[in-house]
Amino acid sequence: MAENTQSLVAMFDKIWPGESNPDEVNVGDYERIGSVVTGAVFFTYGLARKGLLAKILAPVGGYLLQRGLRGTCAIYQAFQINTARQGGNAKATVHANRAIKVKRAVTINKPVSELYSFWRNFENLPSIMDHLEAVTVKDKDHSHWVAKGPAGTKVEWDAEIFREKENEVIAWKSVEGSSVPNAGTVQFTDLGQERGTEVLVELDYEPPAGVIGAAFAKLFGEEPNIQVQEDLRHFKQKMEAGELPTTTGQPSARES
Amino acid sequence: MRALCWFGKEDVRVEAVPDPQILNPRDAIVKITTTAICGSDLHLYDGVIPTMEKGDILGHEFMGEIVEVGKEVHNLKVGDRVVVPFTIACGNCFFCKKGLWASCDNSNPNAWMLEKLYGYSGSGLFGYSHMMGGYAGGQAEFARVPFADIGPVKVPDGLADEQVLFLSDIFPTGYQAAENANIAAGDTVAIWGCGPVGQFAIQSAWMLGAGRVIAIDRVPERLELAATKGKAEIINSDTENVVEKLRSMTGGRGPDSCIDCVGMESTGHTPDALYDKVKMAMKLETDRPTALREVITACRKGGTVSIPGVYGGLLDKFPMGAAFGKGLIFKMGQTNMHNYLKPLMDRIEKGEIDPSFVITHRLGLEDAPAAYKTFRDKQDGCIKVVLKPHEVTA
């Protein structure tokens, strides 16, 4: 799959006339392919039809087409976005400049050890995180994650724990080559004086469809900060109340 | 089953809906023997509470018989007679542990909605809009009760439904209002609104040592009940200047504690009341604080203002200067129900009070839509309506 992508992109580089400077490439491979396909459709449609829509689509298509073929995007350049650059980040496979960063905390009225051990068994997490379908623990440090992607898709990745201190912190990152590169930590702090435990999650991830994917996710109300906040709320509910409050399945006069 | 459902402003209907099911391990299902319409239900009827959806089942004052329990409910069994508090609380969070049950962190599945409006969300409530959790209510034949191991309280044999039903809301609400009023022995307590909560605030003020209780309303039969059952001095706000009257009744000092049992839809004849009515009709204001302004103006310096009346949104012309200038103390909020059910049940059992004195109408569920209108318009001497969902009325 990756090889096909690379050969396709190499072909784009040849199609676009003139010298291309690899340093200027700031659009990732998958995005380039998408750009070319969408651009070609828009451009052809725009030229073949009349009317306002066609007048708009033709130049947009043209722009997308050259963006995909050249691998450079003026808009990304203006916003200093780069979805093409590889490697470099010590933390994990997440690229700082296109990662979505989330930081959320919740205070839970339970001892640290109880919260830590629930979380540490990653297979528990789908019960509190709506967007997770399943987590399979493979060994002490490795696990396989399946999540719901945008618009009914599924995304999967393998993760490894790279730092762990019992009852204090768990840090993980996705393994090299994941479709959703991500890295994160969860920290547990006893607040003392029967004030409970603070659980702090910091998460960096690259959305499946580049920065634009997150924008779409936002439109559908799956904004990452809110998602994590709801996940943490569910964690708290599960640990404190033993169940997640719900009204799904209760009667109303709306049922047919 | 049959249930009273909300369809819009002044549009409530009895509909056939599916029976409730156990959805969570700590749930129970209650077959409702007696339920009531609350004054706060009228805010829903008037369409002033946001996030209602067509088809929602109303009602948060109910009691009945346990017919099913979830696997984590060990303290109740099928056949137990219980009264159910209107606030839903988990019993384990920081707030529940502090006795602030109405602030429970874990019972509102739609907490994010209230967080947007209020910063943080309170507990879930039965039958009171989706921002309050969207739980189906108890003006129905059956209801699902979440966290049933914490909320419902068993009714001792020998006590009738009508004696204990109001432990579901209005008696504890009136009691907490009096507690929040910081009443010291011999204090003068003024209470705005002689609806059911006002009547129980009057009773509770005496229980907590008040020296005088002055009740304010504009509905003659409610004032009469306050005077006869409540032994309160009364002021008719339709015919008297309340602030002046209170000043003269208290030797120029003002009442020590003032309780607003009116809430967001108060009415009056003063210019500010008209202003509120217009602004609210134009959706420029969510609440009409006419009574609350009077409460703040009338209260003595350093006195306490207690607010059990429901407010939902933003208030105009709130006399903050007067509140600050007089150094008033404010206490308010939904009732932390779980603190009061058992102690007040004991008082009823000992015969200290029979809460059924507020009931004026006893009806079947089918009569509920008409009863909402009668209650809202204060027709037919209506003070409190109780409904018997499983009894067919003639």
* Dist. CA A133–CA B280, nearest whole Å: 47
Residues making up chain B, counted from first to last: 394
- Report which DSSP code applies to A91: S
Geometric angle at alpha carbon B353, from B347 and B356, rounded to 5°: 120
In this structure, are A106 and A197 located in the same domain? yes
Structural domain boundaries, residue A120: 100-241
- Sheet strands (E) in chain A: 100-108, 132-137, 142-148, 154-165, 169-174, 182-190, 197-205
> Worst-scoring range by mean pLDDT, A94-103, B39-48, B218-227?
A94-103
Q: Which residues of B touch A236 (CB under 8 A)?
A: 93, 105-106
In this structure, are A106 and A223 located in the same domain? yes
* Contact indicator for A164, A80 with CB cutoff of 8 Å: no
Last residue of a domain, one of A78, A113, A138: A78
The model's pLDDT over B92-109, given as tens digits with 9 standing for 90+, comes to 999 999 999 999 999 999
In this structure, are A49 and A119 located in the same domain? no
* Dist. CA A6–CA B275, nearest whole Å: 70
Residue given tokens 């459902």 in the structure block: B5
Say if A87 falls within a structural domain. Answer: no
- B18: tokens are 């599916």
Say if A246 falls within a structural domain. Answer: no
Q: Which residues of B touch A247 (CB under 8 A)?
A: 23, 109, 133-136
The whole-angstrom distance between A253's CA and the closest CA on chain B is: 4
Instruction: Quote the pLDDT of residue B287.
Output: 72
Compute the average pLDDT of residues B289-300. Answer: 94
The whole-angstrom distance between A150's CA and the closest CA on chain B is: 22
In this structure, are A142 and A55 located in the same domain? no
- How does strand B188-192 pair with strand B124-125? unpaired
In angstroms, the Cα distances linking B25 to B29, B95, B393 are 12, 22, 36
Q: Which residues of B touch A249 (CB under 8 A)?
A: 21, 23
> Worst-scoring range by mean pLDDT, A45-59, B174-188, B292-306?
A45-59
Say if A94 falls within a structural domain. Answer: no
Say if A255 falls within a structural domain. Answer: no
Q: How many CB atoms lie within 10 A of CB A97?
A: 16
Say if A59 falls within a structural domain. Answer: yes
Q: What is the pTM of this model?
A: 0.82
* Contact indicator for A236, B90 with CB cutoff of 8 Å: no
φ, ψ for residue B3, nearest 5 deg: -150, 150
- How does strand B28-37 pair with strand B142-145? antiparallel
For chain B, the residues whose C-beta falls within 8 A of a C-beta of chain A are 1, 3, 5, 7, 13, 15, 17-21, 23-26, 53-57, 72, 88, 90-94, 97, 105-109, 111-112, 124, 133-136, 140, 144, 146-147
Residues making up chain A, counted from first to last: 256
Count of the separate structural domains present in chain A: 2
Exposed e or buried b per residue across B59-80, where buried means at least 16 C-beta atoms within 10 angstroms of its C-beta: bbbbbbbbebbbeebeebeeeb
Residue A12 or residue B225, greater confidence: B225
Q: Could B94 and A109 be called an inter-chain contact, meaning their C-beta atoms sit closer than 8 Å?
A: yes
Q: What is the CATH number of the domain that holds A159?
A: 3.30.530.20
In this structure, are A169 and A220 located in the same domain? yes
> Worst-scoring range by mean pLDDT, A12-26, A61-75, B41-55, B328-342?
A12-26
φ, ψ for residue B178, nearest 5 deg: -70, -40
In angstroms, the Cα distances linking B230 to A117, B188, B200, B215 are 57, 14, 8, 9
Compute the average pLDDT of residues B123-138. Answer: 97
* Dist. CA B40–CA A162, nearest whole Å: 55
Torsion B153-B311-B51-B373 (CA) sign: positive
Q: Could A243 and B26 be called an inter-chain contact, meaning their C-beta atoms sit closer than 8 Å?
A: yes
* Dist. CA B168–CA B355, nearest whole Å: 12
Instruction: Quote the pLDDT of residue A88.
Output: 36
Q: Which residues of A touch B135 (CB under 8 A)?
A: 247, 250
Interface A-B: count of C-beta contacts within 8 A:
100
Q: Which residues of A touch B146 (CB under 8 A)?
A: 245
Q: Note down pLDDT in tens along chain A; length 256 residues.
A: 455 666 776 677 667 655 556 666 777 777 777 787 777 777 777 777 777 777 777 777 777 777 777 777 776 666 556 666 543 333 445 676 667 788 999 999 999 999 999 999 999 999 999 888 999 999 999 999 998 876 677 888 899 999 999 999 999 999 988 777 889 999 999 999 888 999 999 988 876 665 555 554 554 445 778 888 999 999 999 999 999 999 999 999 996 5
Say if A158 falls within a structural domain. Answer: yes
Question: Cα A140 from chain centroid?
Answer: 24
- A87: tokens are 């490697």
Helix (H, G, I), strand (E, B) or coil at B85: coil
Residue A215 or residue B21, greater confidence: B21
Residue given tokens 């997490």 in the structure block: A125
Question: Cα A43 from chain centroid?
Answer: 30
In this structure, are A64 and A137 located in the same domain? no
Indicate the pLDDT class of residue B130, thresholds 50, 70 and 90: very high
Strand order from edge to edge, sheet including B329-332: B233-236, B212-217, B188-192, B257-260, B304-307, B329-332
Q: Could B146 and A195 be called an inter-chain contact, meaning their C-beta atoms sit closer than 8 Å?
A: no
Residues of A numbered 84-123 whose beta carbons fall under 8 angstroms of chain B's beta carbons: which are they?
A: 107, 109
* Contact indicator for A46, A54 with CB cutoff of 8 Å: yes
* Dist. CA B328–CA A96, nearest whole Å: 53
Say if A93 falls within a structural domain. Answer: no
Say if A256 falls within a structural domain. Answer: no
Question: Which of B13, B72, B135 comes nearest A247 by C-beta?
Answer: B135
Last residue of a domain, one of A78, A110, A144: A78
Q: Could A252 and B5 be called an inter-chain contact, meaning their C-beta atoms sit closer than 8 Å?
A: yes
* Dist. CA B258–CA B247, nearest whole Å: 13
Nearest residue to B258 via CA among B201, B195, B315, B339: B201
In this structure, are A117 and A235 located in the same domain? yes
Question: Which of A107, A195, A245 comes nearest B109 by C-beta?
Answer: A245
Q: Could B144 and A250 be called an inter-chain contact, meaning their C-beta atoms sit closer than 8 Å?
A: yes
Give yes or no for residue B90 having a pLDDT over 80.
yes
Q: Within an 8 Å CB–CB cutoff, is residue A230 touching chain B?
A: yes
* Dist. CA A107–CA A195, nearest whole Å: 8
In this structure, are A132 and A237 located in the same domain? yes
* Dist. CA B175–CA B87, nearest whole Å: 15
Q: Which residues of A touch B18 (CB under 8 A)?
A: 251, 255
3-state helix vs strand vs coil in chain B, percent to 5:
30, 20, 45
In this structure, are A41 and A115 located in the same domain? no
Helix (H, G, I), strand (E, B) or coil at B112: helix
Nearest residue to B183 via CA among B204, B203, B209: B209
Residue A182 or residue B373, greater confidence: B373
Instruction: Quote the pLDDT of residue A87.
Output: 38
* Residues linked to residue B212 through DSSP beta bridges, in sequence order: B188
Highest mean pLDDT among A27-31, B116-120, B265-269: B116-120
Nearest residue to B190 via CA among B239, B238, B262: B262
Residue B73 or residue A63, greater confidence: B73
The whole-angstrom distance between A254's CA and the closest CA on chain B is: 5
Q: A225: buried, middle or exposed (CB in 10 Å: 19+, 13-18, 0-12)?
A: middle
Instruction: Quote the pLDDT of residue A51.
Output: 77
In this structure, are A124 and A39 located in the same domain? no
Q: Could A241 and B57 be called an inter-chain contact, meaning their C-beta atoms sit closer than 8 Å?
A: no
* Dist. CA B89–CA B109, nearest whole Å: 12
Residue B291 amino acid letter: A
* Contact indicator for B210, B258 with CB cutoff of 8 Å: no
Contacts of B254 (CB under 8 A, 6+ apart): B246, B247, B298, B299, B300, B301, B303
- B127: tokens are 């039958």
Q: Could A247 and B90 be called an inter-chain contact, meaning their C-beta atoms sit closer than 8 Å?
A: no
Q: Within an 8 Å CB–CB cutoff, is residue A236 touching chain B?
A: yes
In this structure, are A129 and A16 located in the same domain? no
In this structure, are A216 and A152 located in the same domain? yes
